[in-house]
Chain A
Amino acid sequence: AQTVTQSQPEMSVQEAETVTLSCTYDTSESDYYLFWYKQPPSRQMILVIRQEAYKQQNATENRFSVNFQKAAKSFSLKISDSQLGDAAMYFCAYSDSGGGADGLTFGKGTHLIIQP
């Protein structure tokens, strides 16, 4: 079974600074997908960024980028120029690339605090 580990229960960063959230995963599959979801205090999860395992290029979405290290099974999220609105729980998630509607396997989450 796949597992996702987020080793940082909480991270704090000054506004406008850069922060990196860590995620490692375990799988025997060679093709899969990885995601970072954000869950603000309102509790509706929204997708921040996704990465296909077969793509070597790291995904980027504006201030959000990932460092995907397939051999190390590592998938960290970098948030540049942190803003107060970035404060939330961040979940790393994994999905098989199988033809079925595979559910996401989530990590325990990292609570990101933005210091003004």
Chain B
Amino acid sequence: EPEVTQTPSHQVTQMGQEVILRCVPISNHLYFYWYRQILGQKVEFLVSFYNNEISEKSEIFDDQFSVERPDGSNFTLKIRSTKLEDSAMYFCASSESAGSYEQYFGPGTRLTVT
């Protein structure tokens, strides 16, 4: 069964450094999403992406974040200058369409900022 994959599974970085989290969505899906889950808290929506541009974004998704689909398969989340509070699990998801369509989640990348 096709699945969303994410790399790396765990990333440790120093405060102020740039990190890129990578995701490979399911191949025939058109919508892509990033979520984060700070330890012990709820999963929070960051951004959605469709047709090579941002479709929706939350208040969390400020100027230090960016997303890109550099080729036909990868979908990346870049954090330009990491802060301690960026430490979280980051989940990528994809769906065939919007609305009621199921979002398929990847296993997540645990980002630790020291």
Name the A residues within 8 Å of B46 (CB-CB).
Answer: 103
Given A45-B105, A101-B48: A106 in contact with B43 (beta carbons within 8 A): yes
Smallest CB separation, B50 vs chain A (Å): 5
A43–B91 CA distance with the chains assembled, in angstroms: 10
Overall SS of chain A's interface:
loop
* B28 at interface, CB cutoff 8 A: no
Name the A residues within 8 Å of B25 (CB-CB).
Answer: none
Q: Is the CB of B105 within 8 A of A44?
A: yes
Name the A residues within 8 Å of B44 (CB-CB).
Answer: 106
A103–B89 CA distance with the chains assembled, in angstroms: 17
A91–B49 CA distance with the chains assembled, in angstroms: 23
A101–B101 CA distance with the chains assembled, in angstroms: 10
* Cβ proximity bits A100-113 to B, threshold 8 Å, 1 near / 0 not: 11111111110000
A contacts with B, residue count (CB < 8 A): 27
B contacts with A, residue count (CB < 8 A): 29
* A42 at interface, CB cutoff 8 A: yes
Name the A residues within 8 Å of B99 (CB-CB).
Answer: 33, 95-98, 102
Q: Is the CB of B48 within 8 A of A103?
A: yes
* A116 at interface, CB cutoff 8 A: no
Q: Is the CB of B49 within 8 A of A101?
A: yes
Which residues 40-97 of B sit at the A interface, judged by CB distance below 8 A? 41-50, 55-56, 58, 89, 91, 95
Name the B residues within 8 Å of A46 (CB-CB).
Answer: 105
A45–B55 CA distance with the chains assembled, in angstroms: 22
Interface set of A (CB-CB < 8 Å, partner B): 33, 35, 37, 42-47, 50, 52, 91, 95-109
Q: 7 other contacts beyond A100-B56, A107-B42, with CB at 8 A cut-off?
A: A45-B43, A95-B99, A95-B100, A98-B99, A103-B45, A103-B47, A106-B42
